[in-house]
Structure 1
Amino acid sequence: MNGLYTLSRKEGWRRWTDAPARVRPEPLSKQQIRRLSQDAREEYDDARADWHANFGTIRTPQLAAIHDELDQIVATNRQDPDRVRGAAVIDALPGLGKTTIANTFARDVDRAQRRRHGPVTDEGHERLPVFRVGLTSRTTLRTLNRMICEFYGHPGTERASAAQLASWAVDCVLSCDTRIGVIDDLHFIDPHRRDGIEVANHLKWLANELPVTFLFAGVGLSERRLFAEGLTGDSAVMAQTARRWTRLELPPFTVADESGRRQWHSLLKSTERQLVLGAARPGMLTDLGDYLFARTGGHIGSFITLITRGCYKAIRTSAEELTHDLLDTIRIDEASETVRAQLEAAFTAGRLTSTPRKPAA
């Protein structure tokens, strides 16, 4: 897919949901790569860089578990319009894939709905089974309504009032037969600010008015007291809304027990199979299991960043494989770099290992 687009507009969302699976470049050996002409080599390397940055979502145990939970929530939200549907909220630390999980689940629902019911509603409107918006640090009641309307491409959103925008948002959702509303970055709602309380109240109103399942995602929502039951006064809406939300936690990978080590090992093997490097081999990543865990702390976002940048450098330097020395030249997010020394010390001292035990014969 060439060109820029955003998932916060229906055109971008449709482009993403309808995009065919990327074609994996043909694996070539180092000798075959060296025999390519300069133009062919540049084209091949560019295709590989694009592939490594977008080779698809790995179905980790964490992703599979939350997708199963979300499927259950959406499938059982069959209440009549006079009843409120429950919502789901993915609450996790940064870099664990909560946005990816929310988007990929919503994409699956979108595809299934249009495949079953067609691209047009019974009334002749475009069928949009999903709308998606991302909150900002200054999201207000009006901007939230405007973002929903802008997703659908509704004209005249700049000068309309908050009430008019809210009415248009309801019309868009109903006309397009929308089933899921994805609202990302929920942590930008501040329960201690008036704007935050107004947005929370509005989300409650939307849940009452719209026949959709809301899927929220955010960072540290519990710590921000968005689920607090002891709130009083204007903040009581947070506690009331939390009664309708199912909180889904997304933990990082761990190597503290055998189950965690097997999951980490499985991630490394799955990633290995996706890489297109001239000197790639089975065990290229699994042999570096301890090192990769120490570098990333088990956060899949940090892991994918390290692998993507490492592949780019391996191609650029003609190394064509990922090694300890090559990856050591790659810097990633500061959070991972900060805990690296502590984890490396634990692996060196034998207090941690990422290698699962071999099953008994």
Structure 2
Amino acid sequence: MTAPEERGSVPFLLPGSPPMRDTVAGWDHWRVTRHHFVPAPRLSLAEWRRLSPRKRTLHDLHRAATHANLPLLQTPMTKAVTKLLHGRIMTNALKRKPTTRAGVMVTGGGYQGKTETTCEILATFEDMWLQLHQQLNPAAVPGSRDLHVPVAYVQTPVTAKPKSTCKAILNFYGAPMHPRMDLPDLIRQVAASLHDHGTRALVLDDITRLRMHRADDQDTLDLIRAFMSMHVTLVLVGVDIPGSGLLREGRRDPHTGQVIFSPSKHGQVHGLEATQTERRFDLVELDRFRYDTPAGMSAWIDHLTGVEDQLRLLNAPDGMLTDGRMPEYIFARTNGVVGLLERLIEDGCQEAIDSGAECLSEALLEGIAITVNGAPGRDADAGEVPDVPGPAKVRAEPGKHRRSRNTVFDDLGPSASTGS
């Protein structure tokens, strides 16, 4: 039988555009296909040379696709977020009491993987929840077959107002909206959509686009807190939430560590609250890697080991990213931010393939500039674009000794290698 690549099809290039997760169809398509990509097979340089010219080209394209679609790796930071967020959503989903569900705020710097980590946790929950209920909505009205949507993912509008926020949520469901609907009608429509589709978690991404010095944004945040009366887990994701002003009306409970807000004004006005209950949020940070303690260094090296295992370079030696001073060099280039690391590795691998080096080295990476300015869908004013260390900041100046931290790293080398 003729191989697919000989017939002209390229199975590793998934058809269509990447799914947009801010609609039911887009979210569901992403959730179902998120692990479908198959990385390129591992070939030695000798095996690659034995391929036909066409198969070499296709294999190189497959390798480039592999480096452009590196999987989301677990880190000590993501494990902490997963434990808290999954536990909170599951506990709330199983509640039968008509009480307000505590929400979760996921914070961190730009390009630190907050959105992808949150979406993966929620997709895993939805997979389990749908299987538990045989794909059907347990709260559906008898005689109807309402679409079961356990998770709703919505991006906060750049210029958020109460009406535009409601419309963004309704757009996720594809719910009908009359142009003349006023805010109370929109809120009731949001409540109906969440209930009718059996939604258990509502994610509002990029929440720190709200500016608390604007009256509209204050009203929007108050409205968002009112959504907690709709028996869903409210998940707010944003850059540096503690420094954004979103918590200024809250107080921290010394016993639980939760941030507590007073009852929502919108809930009182539009009848969303059965009681004058407080709104509680667990605040969890998805931090970058650190390189100033033995534990931090070990975690960084473990992560680089995982990344290295995903790469498909023909001349890559074992320990390409973890031996010598490479861990320290890569950390200096990326400041421990996983998104910047992904960009550096992706572009570095493409250069390694194009140049024929087929290996990542400090000399090769010195020629790679990490460019994130002007990234689509990111608001620089909201802190969604981090500062990027340049190559010139990494090189040691002539006549100067390297920092003593490198000696500490060398002492930890055997232990780290054993642990990885």
Where in structure 2 are the equivalents of 1:1-361 lying within 5 Å? 1-4=14-17, 5-19=19-33, 20-77=35-92, 78-80=94-96, 82-122=98-138, 123=140, 124-156=145-177, 160-208=181-229, 210-229=230-249, 239-240=261-262, 244-287=280-323, 288-333=326-371, 335-337=387-389, 341=393, 348-352=402-406, 354=409, 356-359=412-415
Q: Say whether the 8 Å CA contact 1:113–1:129 is kept in structure 2.
A: yes
Bigger Rg, which one = 2
TM-score, normalised to structure 1, is 0.90
For residue 271 of structure 2, what is the aligned residue in structure 1? none
Structure 1 residues 258 and 343, CA, compared in 2 at 3 Å: closer, same or farther? farther
Q: Secondary structure at the match of 1:170?
A: helix
Between stretches 84-93 and 73-82, larger displacement belongs to 73-82
Q: Say whether the 8 Å CA contact 2:228–2:279 is kept in structure 1.
A: no
Q: Secondary structure at the match of 1:244?
A: strand
Q: Deviations over 1:128-179 (max 9, x none)?
A: 1100011132011111111111111223465543333322221121111111
What is the alpha-carbon distance in structure 2 between the residues aligned to residue 248 and residue 343 of structure 1? 35
1:264 alignment partner AA: W
What is the alpha-carbon distance in structure 2 between the residues aligned to residue 10 and residue 229 of structure 1? 33
1:89 alignment partner AA: M
Query: Unpaired segments of 5 or more residues in structure 2?
Result: 1-13, 252-258, 264-277, 373-386
Q: Say whether the 8 Å CA contact 1:106–1:130 is kept in structure 2.
A: yes
Q: Secondary structure at the match of 2:104?
A: strand
Q: Deviations over 1:75-98 (max 9, x none)?
A: 332444531111110111112111
**C-alpha deviation, 1:256, in angstroms:** 0.8
**C-alpha deviation, 1:246, in angstroms:** 1.0
Q: Say whether the 8 Å CA contact 1:146–1:157 is kept in structure 2.
A: no
Q: Secondary structure at the match of 2:105?
A: strand
Query: Unpaired segments of 5 or more residues in structure 1?
Result: 232-236
**Aligned residues: CA RMSD:** 2.6
Identity over aligned residues, as a percent?
27
Between stretches 115-124 and 210-219, larger displacement belongs to 115-124
Structure 1 residues 47 and 163, CA, compared in 2 at 3 Å: closer, same or farther? farther
Q: Secondary structure at the match of 2:414?
A: coil
Tell me how many residue pairs correspond in the alignment.
355
TM-score, normalised to structure 2, is 0.78
What is the alpha-carbon distance in structure 2 between the residues aligned to residue 80 and residue 344 of structure 1? 61
What is the alpha-carbon distance in structure 2 between the residues aligned to residue 221 and residue 186 of structure 1? 8
Q: Say whether the 8 Å CA contact 1:290–1:347 is kept in structure 2.
A: no
Q: Say whether the 8 Å CA contact 1:10–1:131 is kept in structure 2.
A: yes
Structure 1 residues 52 and 66, CA, compared in 2 at 3 Å: closer, same or farther? same
